[in-house]
């Protein structure tokens, strides 16, 4: 017998109930406070299932299911549940919120099933995902949304090992000039002191709760609220940095906490980088190469100028970086310099950066961010004279698992022929501007790629800047091969906003999830196939395994 039926026999009568003529209750999934969550079948879409949250209204607006629905319906992020319907209180005082059914378990359940301990690396990865979500919520143009109840039982881990923040019952929009939240809400042990003591909160209250959650997961289930002792982790530099970060997040003074979720994510990245540094040192000391064999190479180009080759190259680098894979983006010396400007090199490039020759000449600084090395051209100087042989030598010196080479629209040029021969994956990009498709050079590039595909090479066409218009199906059907991925058009205001922030638009919370959805499945599958065909490895290979789990 289901334990929910044992503890609350009146729930039995709910099973089989149909709401809105569409959602039929199957069984309870969980309960807490004044709510119970049920699994429901969709009578209009056979086979589709939803989660229905049934809440008894108590007259407190802060706990209103209608308020939760109003908050969630205005948010859109892959780490949030999607709300599809809401039914106001019935004659018994119960409201019903219909949302996406997430297969998985809560972080609390995962923690308990592992005996009250999780590997620090897994905890860091989940925390980085939460930081992405919090950055999105805290930086909304319409005003920050403060969750106020981050804790392991409110964090789902779905079937793809991604976090999903649930239970927005006490979330609120931050109103300028409003000092208090009407009532003090939150979970003892995880809620920020200013929320419990004064009923006030802002985005830094969520950062405190994130720190309290990390403390709990890394201290075998203890809470900082009860112990009041700094987090001490056995290990090396990674554990030291992680303990220091948790201490900063748990500062009683909100002003002393990290300034943003983005800053916290950067600190978590430093924790991971310190671990990779140890691995590299160990490999160097043993005189063993960090990566065995020739590394994976991806050549990216447009069928014509302006198609979005550089944008796509950076997008691939972002996806690889999110999977923890070291990569490099190299701008071919013959292309128009776009990478430096896209990355706001005037602000972000190292002081001693020497552009295309950066990491290969003694005394020069390399330009790296997260897991990516940027090898860009100087937009203010003539391009360097680099022969194909010299280009090949430089590429071999790059110590990254994946090298992405942006060749612009130079598919037919003699100086890229050797690059095409050596590449593991060829990516051709095109957008829906019909006049560009009519260019003879574009047709020549398409014919070349078609021949390479027929010869057994890994060739992929990417449809970039996709938008809804009358000829969209005709456009997608005009590619020599069915597009392997379709990247949606990025709003111009999003691009301008990121440029003024000095950050790639591909990294922005409103853009990156779209890139993961569009490119992630193809990249993992194709990279695994390329590596397998090249070295005869069995199975999916290291890239395929990573993307099959995380994309």
Active-site annotation, residues: 149
Cα–Cα distance for residue pair 260/371, rounded to 1 Å: 21
Look-up: residue for tokens 């629905």? 69
Q: Tell me if 548 sits within 8 A of 522, measured CB to CB.
A: no
Q: Give me the sign of the Cα torsion angle 162, 490, 71, 175.
A: positive
In DSSP notation, 341-353 reads HHTTHHHHS-TT-
**Residue 68, φ and ψ in degrees, nearest 5:** -60, -45
Our measurement of the distance from residue 545's CA atom to the centroid of its chain's CA atoms, rounded to an integer in Å, reads: 17
Bridge partners, 41 (sequence order): 24, 49
Look-up: residue for tokens 């900082």? 224
Our measurement of the distance from residue 523's CA atom to the centroid of its chain's CA atoms, rounded to an integer in Å, reads: 15
**Residue 488, φ and ψ in degrees, nearest 5:** -70, 155
Strand 155-158, strand 163-165: pairing? antiparallel
Cβ neighbours of 61 (radius 10 Å)? 12
**Which tokens go with 52?**
């229905």
Cβ neighbours of 417 (radius 10 Å)? 12
Cα–Cα distance for residue pair 507/100, rounded to 1 Å: 26
**Residue 234, φ and ψ in degrees, nearest 5:** -75, 140
Strand 18-19, strand 23-32: pairing? antiparallel
Cα–Cα distance for residue pair 268/274, rounded to 1 Å: 10
Q: Give me the sign of the Cα torsion angle 61, 67, 68, 71.
A: negative
Residue 512 marked in a binding site: no
**Which residues make up each annotated binding site?**
53
Residues that constitute the known binding site for ATP: 53
């Amino acid at each position: 017998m289901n334990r929910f039926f044992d503890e609350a026999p009146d729930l039995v009568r709910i099973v089989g109930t149909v709401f809105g003529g569409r959602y039929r209750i199957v069984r309870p999934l969980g309960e807490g406070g004044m709510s119970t969550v049920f699994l429901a079948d969709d009578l209009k879409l056979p086979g589709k299932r939803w989660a229905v949250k049934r809440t008894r209204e108590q007259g407190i607006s802060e706990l209103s299911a209608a308020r939760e629905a109003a908050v969630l319906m205005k948010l859109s992020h892959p780490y949030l549940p999607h709300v599809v319907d809401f039914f106001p209180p019935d004659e018994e005082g119960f409201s019903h919120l219909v949302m996406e059914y997430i297969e998985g378990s809560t972080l609390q359940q995962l923690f308990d099933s592992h005996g009250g301990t999780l590997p620090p690396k897994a905890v860091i990865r989940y925390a980085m995902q939460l930081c992405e979500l919090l950055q999105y919520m805290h930086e909304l143009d319409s005003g920050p949304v403060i969750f106020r109840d981050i804790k392991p039982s409110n964090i789902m881990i779905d079937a793809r090992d991604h976090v999903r923040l649930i239970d927005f019952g006490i979330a609120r929009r931050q109103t300028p000039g409003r000092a208090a939240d009407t009532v003090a809400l939150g979970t003892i042990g995880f809620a920020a002191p200013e929320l419990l003591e004064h009923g006030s909160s802002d985005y830094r209250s969520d950062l405190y709760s994130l720190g309290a959650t990390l403390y709990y997961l890394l201290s075998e289930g203890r809470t900082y609220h009860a112990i009041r002792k700094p987090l001490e982790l056995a290990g090396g530099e990674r554990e030291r940095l992680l303990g220091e970060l948790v201490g900063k997040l748990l500062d009683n003074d909100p002003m002393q906490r990290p300034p943003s979720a983005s800053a916290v994510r950067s600190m978590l990245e430093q924790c991971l980088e310190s671990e990779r540094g140890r691995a590299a040192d160990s490999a160097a000391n043993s005189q063993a190469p960090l990566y065995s064999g020739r590394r994976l190479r991806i050549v990216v180009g447009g069928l014509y100028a302006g198609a979005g080759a550089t944008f796509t190259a950076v997008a691939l680098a972002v996806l690889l970086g999110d999977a923890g894979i070291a990569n490099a983006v190299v701008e071919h010396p013959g292309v128009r310099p776009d990478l430096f400007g896209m990355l706001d090199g005037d602000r972000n490039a190292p002081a001693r950066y020497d552009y295309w020759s950066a990491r290969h000449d003694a005394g020069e600084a390399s330009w790296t961010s997260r897991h990516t090395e940027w090898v860009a051209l100087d937009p203010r100087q003539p391009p360097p004279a680099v022969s194909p042989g010299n280009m090949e030598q430089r590429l071999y010196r790059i110590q990254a698992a994946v090298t992405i080479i942006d060749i612009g629209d130079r598919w037919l040029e003699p100086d890229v022929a050797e690059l095409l021969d050596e590449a593991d994956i060829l990516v051709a990009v095109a957008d829906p501007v019909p006049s560009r498709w009519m260019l003879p050079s574009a047709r020549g590039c398409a014919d070349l790629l078609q021949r390479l595909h027929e010869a057994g090479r890994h060739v992929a066409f990417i449809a970039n800047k996709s938008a809804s218009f009358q000829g969209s199906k005709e456009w997608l059907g005009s590619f020599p091969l069915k597009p392997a991925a379709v990247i949606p058009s990025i709003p111009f205001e999003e691009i301008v906003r990121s440029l003024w922030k000095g950050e790639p638009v591909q990294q922005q919370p409103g853009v990156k999830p779209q890139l993961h959805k569009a490119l992630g499945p193809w990249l993992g599958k194709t990279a695994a196939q390329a590596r397998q065909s090249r070295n005869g490895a069995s199975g999916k290979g290291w890239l395929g395994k990573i993307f099959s789990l995380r994309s």
